[in-house]
Amino acid sequence: MSHRPDYVPDGTTGEGAIAKEGYFEREKKKTDVGKKLHQLIQADEQKKINKHGEGVCYGCMRKDYIISSLFYCCSRCMEKRGTEALYTIVYHKPSEEICDFCGKWQKPFDTYQINASLCTQHCWPKMERFHREYREAGGKSQNPLEKKHRRKYGKDYKILRTSGARPAGI
Ligand SMILES: [Zn+2]
Ligand SMILES: [Zn+2]
């Protein structure tokens, strides 16, 4: 399925895990941003990830085996968690987004896309369940503002969302 020569589809155990880990490490070092990010993280004693993938979990703040990824996090959840396990803020979202940590839809400019790690024991499986439920519930179509527009403008709501025209009153 994959065109990547060194990608191992089932990289969760044994040799597969080692090959997968190596693949991500190499990919990271190919870009300037990746290199800088890697140096920045490894230079910090709290955020450092050793080759076994151990670090502080952004979900429960315990030190455990972790996986890093991108998440959406609202400003309130970020305040609660502090910066100890936060690697970097990638993007300040200008539109509505659901927070991956509290599961609530937030207003424009209330969520950030962040790079953080979750423990493989508790928080990562929990996040996977959350994303599955989100997709099954209709994903982005559950955006409360979109729902409101759909109710109010029927099939024309998409034109309103994408043309930049804002009818009075919203
Ligand atoms: Zn955790
Ligand atoms: Zn939140």
The answer to whether residue 34 sits within a structural domain is: no
What ligand is nearest to the CA atom of residue 101? 2
Q: Quick one: pLDDT band at residue 4, thresholds 50, 70, 90?
A: very low
Asked if residue 149 belongs to a domain, the reply is yes
| Alpha-carbon gap, residue 133 to 125, rounded angstroms | 12
Domain range for 115: 49-163
**156 against 161, higher pLDDT:** 156
**Ligand 2 center from residue 41 Cα (angstroms):** 24
Q: Is residue 19 part of a domain?
A: no
Could you give the C-alpha distances from 169 to 71, 147, 152, 160, 166, in angstroms and in order? 32, 16, 11, 13, 8
Instruction: Answer yes or no: is 135 within a domain.
Output: yes
Instruction: Please report the pLDDT score of residue 133 as a whole number.
Output: 93
Asked whether residue 69 is assigned to any structural domain, the reply reads yes
Total tally of structural domains belonging to the chain: 1
CB 90 within 8 A of CB 113: yes
Q: How far does residue 30's CA lie from ligand 2's centre (Å)?
A: 33
Predicted TM-score of the model (pTM): 0.64
Q: Is residue 8 part of a domain?
A: no
Q: Answer yes or no: is pLDDT of 10 > 60.
A: no
Residue 143 CA to ligand 2 center (angstroms) comes to 15
Q: Where are the beta strands (DSSP E) in the chain?
A: 54-56, 63-74, 86-93, 97-98, 105-106, 111-119
Q: Which ligand is nearest to the CA of 104?
A: 2
Amino acid at 159: I
Asked if residue 126 is part of any domain, the answer here is yes
| pLDDT tens digits along 52-106 | 678 899 999 999 888 888 999 999 999 999 888 888 898 899 988 999 999 999 9
How many angstroms is it from 119 CA to the middle of ligand 2? Answer: 18
45: CB partners within 8 A, 6+ apart? none
Q: What is the pLDDT of residue 161?
A: 63
